[in-house]
Amino acid sequence: MRATRADLGLLFAIALVAGFAQFGAVAALNDVALYFGHVSRATTLRDAVGLSGSEIGVGMGVVRLASLLAMPLSASADRHGRVRVLRRALLAGLLATAAATLSPSYWFFVACFALARPLLTAVSTLVQVVVVETSTSAQRISRLIVMAAGAGVGSGLSAVLHSLIRGPNSFRWLFALALVPVVLVVPLVHRLSEPHAHRADELERRLGSVPHAVRARLGIVALVSFATGLITGPANGFAFVYAEGVLRMAPHVVALVVVLSGLAGLAGLGLSRWLSHAWGRRATVGFGLICLGLTSSVAYAGGRTSFVVGYMLGVAAAGLFAPAASALSTEIFERRVRATAAGWVALAGVLGATVGLGVFGWLSDVIRSTQLTSLRTSALWTFWPLMPSVLLLLRVPESRGVEID
């Protein structure tokens, strides 16, 4: 079954809403740290933003680690249908995000987003699966780019609203906005058509299991996803704390950088489309991962200029990487295990982000130097070790031109 324009428009809206709700924790993190922490005039990260690098890293790591539950949620779509699981996960994720409005402490805020994150991660994963299954090979990358753009617009909207809503309780109002799509978007999800009818043999497998024949390729794709999470977890998780708390950039300036980086992201998405057809999915994914590591290192190299340049180029690199990675990680698996495989890949990314956040935060505390030097060194030691894993992609079949069963 091929997706109609109405289906694609609704999937775009779902991707946007999921991006908005997930990015809220990052956009408001500096405000949350200031509200629940204690700021002083000393030189450590704790003194600048109110919480230590370890507390921020562990908190965001817990949120990321909770996303491990996205795997069984995504896998359940192979049994119960894509649309049913998508609708329920979106509703629950938005309600959990809105609950963070009531946070009496930093760790309550962490708990709310730890509950919301796996649900919203499953939503993002299933949006990609549905798009892949309802598109031809020629359409697939373009449509995945549209979904990635939707998630990017949602993230940018979260950053812009964070800059406009000021005051000691600004983060509470931002989180409360998650209730708007509960009314406007969730009731429409049932209109999506289920891509495939279910077969009886699909219910006989254990939840999360995949055939032996595809486990090696799944392991390679998962390792690349782990390496990507190791970079993007701390690179994104600490971005607003670094920009607003350490570099002392005004929130509206940071929001402007995020908005302008959307143009860089569009350029990255366009390049991803061209390279995916010219080079193939594997080469585009490998090139994108290397660009992510390089640009994230530039963002934390020290100074406002490096941050702006590195952040904007990092968004472009993410746009280059994401559609090709989404296509590759779904096209090389058959329909009956496609959502399960996508869930395992997302789980690996979560583990990578969790490890990255923990290591980055810990290094920023133990390196006895200025804030800029400690974060620069933390970035190099966190972002680079697993980048050679892209070579393993040579052992994964190229999926360019593959039509979905």
- Tell me how far apart the alpha carbons of residues 266 and 93 are, in angstroms, rounded to a whole number: 27
Mean pLDDT of the chain: 81
Distance CA 220, CA 208 (A): 17
> What total of structural domains would you count in the chain?
1
Q: How far apart are CA 356 and CA 379, in angstroms?
A: 9
Segment 220-232 mean pLDDT: 90
Tens digit of pLDDT for each residue in 150-191? 988 888 888 788 778 877 677 888 889 999 999 999 999 988
Q: Determine contact, residues 93/113, Cβ cutoff 8 Å.
A: no
pLDDT at 286 over 90: yes
Residue 202 placed within a domain:
no
CA distance 36 to 221: 39
What distance in Å separates the CA atoms of residue 290 and residue 387, rounded to the nearest whole number? 6
Confidence tier at 98 by pLDDT (50, 70, 90): very high
The predicted model gives 4-20 an average pLDDT of: 91
Say what the pLDDT of residue 140 is.
Answer: 86
Q: Report long-range pairs for 79-83 (Cβ below 8 Å, ≥24 apart).
A: 79/198, 79/202, 79/203, 79/207, 81/194, 81/198, 82/126, 82/129, 82/130, 82/133, 82/192, 82/194, 82/195, 82/339, 83/130, 83/189, 83/190, 83/192, 83/193, 83/194
pLDDT grade for 373, boundaries at 50, 70 and 90: low
Give the range of the structural domain holding residue 266, as residue numbers without chain letter. Answer: 5-185+211-395
What Cα–Cα distance (Å) separates residue 11 from each residue in 62, 323, 325?
28, 15, 19
> How buried is residue 278: exposed, middle or buried, by Cβ count under 10 Å (0-12/13-18/19+)?
exposed
Q: Is residue 100 one of the residues assigned to a domain? A: yes
State the pLDDT at residue 238: 74
Confidence of residue 300 (pLDDT cuts 50, 70, 90): confident
Of 87-96, 245-254, 292-301, 337-346, give the range with the top mean pLDDT: 87-96
Which span out of 22-31, 93-102, 238-247, 353-362 was modeled with the highest average pLDDT?
Answer: 93-102
In a domain, 144, yes or no: yes
CATH number at residue 42: 1.20.1250.20
Q: Look at residue 274 and tell me if it is in a domain.
A: yes
Please give the DSSP secondary-structure letter assigned to residue 246. Answer: I
Taken in order 123, 126, 128, 130, is the CA torsion positive or negative? negative
Does residue 109 lie in a domain region? yes
Q: Which helix (H) or strand (E) holds 402?
A: none
Residue 199: pLDDT above 60?
no
The upper half-sphere exposure of residue 284, i.e. CA atoms within 13 Å in the direction of its Cβ, equals 30
Return the pLDDT at 42. Answer: 46
Tokens of 350: 């979560």
Mean pLDDT in residue range 46-60: 59
Does the pLDDT value for residue 47 go beyond 50? no
pLDDT band at 62 (very low <50, low <70, confident <90, very high): confident
**Is pLDDT of 207 > 80?**
no
Average pLDDT over residues 398-403: 78
pLDDT at 349 exceeding the cut of 60: yes
Residue the block writes with tokens 């020629």: 138
Which amino acid makes up residue 241? V
Which span out of 45-54, 174-183, 329-338 was modeled with the highest average pLDDT? 174-183
224: confidence class by pLDDT, cuts 50, 70, 90: very high
What integer pLDDT is reported at residue 39 of this predicted model?
46
pLDDT recorded at residue 85: 92
pLDDT at 10 over 90: yes
Q: Report the distance separating Cα 364 and Cα 286, nearest Å.
A: 28
What are the pLDDT digits (tens) for 119-135? Answer: 998 999 899 889 988 88
What pLDDT does 223 receive?
92
Which positions ≥6 away from 197 have C-beta within 8 Å?
Answer: none
pLDDT the model gives residue 370: 54
Asked whether the predicted pLDDT for residue 50 surpasses 50, the reply is: no
Structure tokens at 323: 């559609």
Q: Is the distance from CB of 144 to CB of 342 less than 8 angstroms?
A: no
The reported pLDDT for the residue numbered 405 is 56
Instruction: Encode pLDDT of 249-264 as tens digits.
Output: 887 888 788 778 888 9
What number is the average pLDDT over the span 373-377?
Answer: 66
Question: Is 194 part of any domain?
Answer: no
Q: What are the structure tokens assigned to 298, written together?
A: 């530039």
Count, residues in the chain: 405
Confidence of residue 371 (pLDDT cuts 50, 70, 90): low
Share of the chain above pLDDT 90, in %: 22
Task: Give the Cα-Cα-Cα angle 187, 22, 235 (nearest 5 degrees).
Answer: 160
